[in-house]
Structure 1
Amino acid sequence: YFDDLKVGQVFESVGRTITNHDVLTYAGITGDNNEVHTNDEFAKNTPFKKRIAHGLLIVGIASGLTQRLGIFNRSAMAALDLQWTFKAPVVIGDTIHIRVTIENMRETSKGDRGIVTRQYDVLNQRDEVVQTGNFVVMMHKKPK
């Protein structure tokens, strides 16, 4: 709940390995079949030298890793804003995890909820930040 959080708190998730199945399933669902994600031979001639995961796939997995933390479950009411930066590619076989920092909090005028800005770092197995961003959510306060 909103009341359980404090500005500056940091939460880290478990790791999640990105698989070929993840990338191909995402391509199939979204229709984003860009060859840098789906064609080994094409990808060899890119700056990455191999296929990379879709950036938005990693954003979605970061959201899932947030749920696995268990801290925001049932207390998040609505997503309000998302600002995200892609810093480095994630390749098939990378294991990512998230570090979430509570950056800002404010109570709403209704008093039964609050607005929380969560700052995300998505890190690979070498602890390199591959994506970063802010996610603003409305959260319930504890029931009285």
Structure 2
Amino acid sequence: MLRDIENYKVYFDTLEVGERFVSEGRTVTERDIIAFAGLSGDFNALHIDAEYAATTQHGQRIAHGLLVLSIASGLSTQMPVMKFMSSTIVGLANLECRWLKPTFIGDTIHVVLEVTEKVPSRSKPDRGTLVLSRKAVNQRGETVMDSTWKLILKKSDAA
């Protein structure tokens, strides 16, 4: 079957629990960290002061956790599955996040996205909540961030 990719959409009922997707990688740069510090106002020495950071347990500067979360979000939205889902997303219902390891300047991270649960809405039958595990994984195969995102999506029969 040939799909009309221009009008292809991913709905709540299109995806199955257990489906996994992997993003492209993105290297975290010193420029990213400095720009994020300026944008967020978080000038913690652990992120921007190389001399200080060298004296810490990490031995070097680390990326802001929220920067890693932001990069993971951007990598996720660039995945085809998320692009096809963009017009069916009603909203973000919840986000939980844990940072397991530091991300250093020069680390390349990618996202592993997995559908872990689907919860139909009881009050609004035209939608449901899609629970997604989003892990940021570095080039060494280490999970540096583990998050759960709950997205409210339209059902296909509601279109």
What is the TM-score of this pair, normalised by structure 2?
A: 0.87
Q: Where does 1:104-123 land on structure 2 (aligned, <5 Å)?
A: 104-109=117-122, 110-123=124-137
- What is the aligned partner in structure 1 of residue 3 from structure 2? none
Q: How many residues align?
A: 144
d(CA) in 2 for partners of 1:23, 1:101: 28
**C-alpha deviation, 1:121, in angstroms:** 1.3
**C-alpha deviation, 1:124, in angstroms:** 0.1
Deviations 1:68-103 (A, max 9, x none): 113132222211111111100000100000101101
**C-alpha deviation, 1:10, in angstroms:** 0.5
Indicate which of 86, 89, 96 corresponds to 1:76.
89
Q: Does 1:89 align with 2:102?
A: yes
**C-alpha deviation, 1:9, in angstroms:** 0.5
Deviations 1:21-72 (A, max 9, x none): 1111110011000011001101100111111000011111111111111313
- What is the aligned partner in structure 1 of residue 4 from structure 2? none
**C-alpha deviation, 1:118, in angstroms:** 0.3
**C-alpha deviation, 1:112, in angstroms:** 1.5
d(CA) in 2 for partners of 1:131, 1:18: 14
Give the 3-state SS of the residue equivalent to 2:13 in structure 1: helix
Larger Rg: 2
Q: Does 1:17 align with 2:30?
A: no
Q: Does 1:124 align with 2:134?
A: no
Q: Does 1:39 align with 2:49?
A: yes
- What is the aligned partner in structure 2 of residue 139 from structure 1? 153
Segments of structure 1 that go 5 or more residues without pairing to the other structure are none
What is the TM-score of this pair, normalised by structure 1?
A: 0.95
What is the root-mean-square deviation in Å for CA atoms of aligned residues?
Answer: 1.1
d(CA) in 1 for partners of 2:87, 2:76: 12
**C-alpha deviation, 1:16, in angstroms:** 0.6
d(CA) in 1 for partners of 2:71, 2:89: 17
Query: Identical aligned pairs, as a percentage?
Result: 36
**C-alpha deviation, 1:11, in angstroms:** 0.7
